[in-house]
Amino acid sequence: MHGARNDFILVDETEGVKVPEGEKADFARWACDRRAGVGADGVVFVRVDPPEVEMRIFNRDGSEAEFCGNAARCAVRYAVDVRGENVKVLRTLAGRHSVEVRGDEVRVEVPGARVEEVTELGFEVDAGVPHLVRLTERDPVRGARGLTSEARKIQREYAERGGVNVTFAAPAGDALRVRTYERGVGWTPACGSGVVAASIVYAEVFGAEHAVEVSTAGGRLRVLLDGPFLEGPAEVVYAGRLRGTPWRENSDHQR
């Protein structure tokens, strides 16, 4: 599945065989490998128990994240479109999120998202996962590679604190242009929690009151500030069946 081209392998653990808890990290490292596995930015494990769906997400380096906005929309879309369930709540390590499917788009609440501190490096924001938001005049969507060394330097500063996602945001025309260098992943076409974090900073600095339109390399997303809520598309690309346990044979090589 993908949400704004941020792609995930979604594993339904509602029924049948489950990936053992101690092997989920190895599974993610193998599955996300675009040459030796399936290929993705992360793996999402879901369990559907209407009216709720539970989601856990592992980055492609095997680390587990508390939340991911694009993965959240994918989990909800899967529960509704593939399993045919009417879900109203998403549960993640970051808490409970109200959700709603609105035509082609999925709306997910990110409760408690807020600016926690302003430092010399930028705005520290909790958007389900930690973000360091930097406002810039440079377009981060078109010029992300030129910001890589800056993003890595900031991540090293936060390494002992559990790491941080580095989000660059530039006001431009009718949309805020945003790109995130994610923990355990690197640059992705879109980062849902990064879009929320950047929108909260934008609202605080420039006075937006209701909604913020955001342009990413993966497409347009929208943040409704009363919540806040992240709104955007999510799509099933294809389905497959896993054969064997290839992640066990490849675990030593991946590390």
Tokens for 51, please give them. 């009216």
How many DSSP H helices and E strands does the chain contain?
A: 5, 17
Q: Is 68 a catalytic residue?
A: yes
Which is catalytic among the residues 57, 68, 99, 133? Answer: 68
| Catalytic site residue from 53, 57, 101, 191 | 191
CA max distance for the chain: 54
**CB under 8 Å to 161, separation ≥6 — which residues?**
none
Strands 219-224 and 211-216: antiparallel
191 is annotated as an active-site residue: yes
Residue with tokens 């945003």: 178
**Burial of 65 from C-beta contacts in 10 A (0-12 / 13-18 / 19+):** buried
Task: Show which residues are catalytic.
Answer: 68, 191
